[in-house]
Structure 1
Amino acid sequence: MLRWLLAVLVLANILAFITMRGLFGPSPAAGPREPNHLNRQVRPEQLRVQPMSSTDAADLAVVGGPAPIAPVAASALQ
């Protein structure tokens, strides 16, 4: 039983390798996914990148820092 499972897994790996090498055509990730996306943008020259203010940054979680304490009121169960 284990030999059959091993054989099926080896064949599946070989098929995946052959598929990624392009036997059945190019992979979907080989080219642009939305080639006309940039052409359909409305007024791309008006896009501006602005730095965050300190009030906006206060709402974001700090990666690696302690989790903020949630303002939840709890009462004893009766």
Structure 2
Amino acid sequence: MLRWLIAILFLANMLAFVAMRGVFGPTPTAGSREPNHLNRQFRAESLKVQPVTAAEAADQAVVGGPAPAAPIAASALPQ
């Protein structure tokens, strides 16, 4: 029983090997699946860098700075 399983697995591996080598034609991943993919990419030369204004900088997080204090009022719990 185990010999048949090994033989079937060996044949399946050989079939997969020859299929990936292109014996049955080109693989589906060989062609372009997204022809417009290159048209949608960003072109670095067309990007413009602009300085951040003071109003926009107020919304930015300060990396490495202390955490802001939470505006929460605390009181003692009655016993």
TM-score class, shorter: 0.3 to 0.5
- TM-score after normalising by structure 1: 0.47
- TM-score after normalising by structure 2: 0.47
Report which of the two structures shows the higher radius of gyration computed on alpha carbons.
2
